[in-house]
Amino acid sequence: MRVIVITGMSGSGKSTAVKALEDEGYYCIDNLPVRLFKRFVDLIGKSGETFKGIVLVADIRGREFFKGYEGAFLKIAEAGHMVEIFFFDALDDVLVRRFSETRRRHPADEHCTVSEAIRIERDRLSGLRHLATRVIDTSEFTVHQLKEFILGIVSGEKNENQLVVEVQSFGFKYGVPLESSIVMDVRFLPNPYFVPELKEGSGCDDAVRDYVLDNIVTAQFLDHFFPLLDMLLPAHRQEGKSYLTISIGCTGGRHRSVAIAEATGMHLQEMWPSVRIIHRDIEKGLK
């Protein structure tokens, strides 16, 4: 059977990954004592039940886990099962922010700050991180992006060299998307909002799109913007990024940003087939 061990830093998205895999038909169990790993895998194998595989979640909460995980993994592999170890990680400041937002207590908290608890956990997990078959940095993932990425990994649809690109439009009045890797402000372009016959439309409509794109300022902008992206995306992939979000904003997120996001997505799709276009605030732009 396929046995996936999910481990890594607290707050790095392990629970999100487990829920996604459980929905896909994997048998998932959390915080099982390490001495029971092999026995549990054997029981599932003999049960007659049909699963895509087994997911074992083990981390700093199981103190005894650190005393025998290498031997446990070896026994499972020797029994003929395929063992994969996914180590989830994120930047320290991202982990601190996630704990502050959820108000969870860090499991490594030994009467110290969250930052110090993260340092302690990182030190204890260093050997396991080195043993991992795949390290997944979730610093820039939203929950949705992480689920999509994990399912792509287990299904073999994504590999380490593929860059998944998301182009999204947004309105500055509703805030800059936190997941943005690249942000472009297009509020300098002519605004269809002030044209009575175009105000009620959106950047997805032909008339609005033509108004935005058939302008010398827009043409000059795209002549610089597209080559910049053509240079940046391969550079980001070379640095090991798996997911890149390009956020394009105007005032309300309904007209200019939508038209430019559509044009940008179409341009990038010629070389990056995994490009997805999202319009975050298109329904808010008239409010």
User: Are residues 168 and 128 located together in one domain of the fold?
Assistant: no
Is 84 within the bounds of a domain?
yes
H/E element, 120: helix 114-124
Q: How many CB atoms lie within 10 A of CB 108?
A: 22
- Do residues 258 and 134 share a domain? no
φ, ψ of residue 13 in degrees (nearest 5) = 105, 15
Judgement on whether residues 191 and 116 belong to the same structural domain of the protein: no
pLDDT at 160: 46
- What's the mean per-residue pLDDT of the chain? 86
25 and 141 in a common domain: yes
Asked whether residue 138 falls in the same domain as residue 213, the answer is no
Is 116 domain-assigned? yes
Q: How does DSSP assign 166-208, residue by residue?
A: EEEEEEGGG---TT-SEEEE-TTS--GGGSTTTTTS-TTSHHH
Domain-ending residue, one of 92, 122, 155: 155
Is 287 inside a domain boundary?
no
Question: Is there a single domain that holds both residue 140 and residue 180?
Answer: no
Range of the domain at 214: 164-279
| CATH number (domain holding residue 16) | 3.40.50.300
Of 155, 179, 200, the residue at which a domain comes to its end is 155
Percent of the chain with pLDDT over 90: 38
Strands 243-250 and 182-185: parallel
DSSP symbol at 34: G
Do 130 and 42 fall into the same domain? yes
Tell me what pLDDT residue 286 has.
65
What pLDDT shows up at residue 67? 67
Q: Of 72-86, 95-109, 195-209, which one has max mean pLDDT?
A: 195-209
Residues in a beta bridge with 27: 54
Burial zone of 149 (CB within 10 Å; 0-12 exposed, 13-18 middle, 19+ buried):
buried
Domain-ending residue, one of 100, 133, 155 = 155
pLDDT of residue 223: 97
pLDDT (tens digit per residue) in 26-65: 988 887 877 788 888 888 878 777 788 899 888 777 665 5
Look up residue 195 and give its amino acid: V
pTM of the model: 0.56
Any domain includes 95 = yes
* Count of CA atoms in the C-beta half-sphere (13 A) of 77: 11
Task: Characterise 275 by phi-psi region: left (phi > 0), alpha (psi -120 to 50), beta (else).
Answer: beta
For residue 142, is it within any domain? yes
Residues 142 and 171 in one domain: no
The mean pLDDT value for 144-157 works out to 82
Q: State CA 79 to chain mean position distance.
A: 33
Q: Indicate whether 227 belongs to any domain.
A: yes
Exposed/middle/buried for residue 168 (C-beta within 10 Å: 0-12, 13-18, 19+) = buried
Residues 130 and 38 reside in one and the same domain: yes
Q: Tell me: do 139 and 20 sit in the same domain.
A: yes
Same domain, residue pair 137 and 189: no
230 occurs within a structural domain: yes
pLDDT band at 287 (very low <50, low <70, confident <90, very high): low
Residues 134 and 178 in one domain: no
Residue 101 located in a structural domain = yes
Domain count along the chain: 2
pLDDT band at 159 (very low <50, low <70, confident <90, very high): very low
